[in-house]
Amino acid sequence: MDEILKRLTDLQLLIESQGINQKEVLNMVEASKYLELSVSHLYKLTSAGTIPYYKPNGKKLYFKRTELDAWLLRNRSASKDEIEREAADYLLKKGRVRL
């Protein structure tokens, strides 16, 4: 019986997560689940102006999923290979590479 309840709970969570991934505009609870952040932390991010949000009626907060994706992917760190390639390209352009 416990195994059946666990599977039902897993299915319910999967269905809910698929619904969030299909919606363009998310409310606070949906956005916190989507970002895997607590609601209180998400409130802190909005009050600090760190994350983009909408407040159409002056009360409830809404988030555009594509903007949340862009926010998540900001401040990309280059890989070691990319940094080495950029350094080599820079040296080649400046004529400082000895062959």
Question: What are the DSSP calls for 18-61, one per residue?
Answer: HHHHH-SEEEHHHHHHHHT--HHHHHHHHHTT-S--B-TTSSS-
pTM of the model: 0.61
State the pLDDT at residue 23: 83
| Residue scoring higher pLDDT (36 or 8) | 36
Res. 18: pLDDT tops 70: no
Whole-angstrom distance between the N-terminal and C-terminal Cα of the chain?
A: 72
* Contact of 28 with 68, CB cutoff 8 Å: no
Query: pLDDT (tens digit, 9 = 90+) per residue, 46-59?
Result: 999 999 999 998 88
Report domain extents, the chain.
Answer: 2-94
State the pLDDT at residue 98: 58
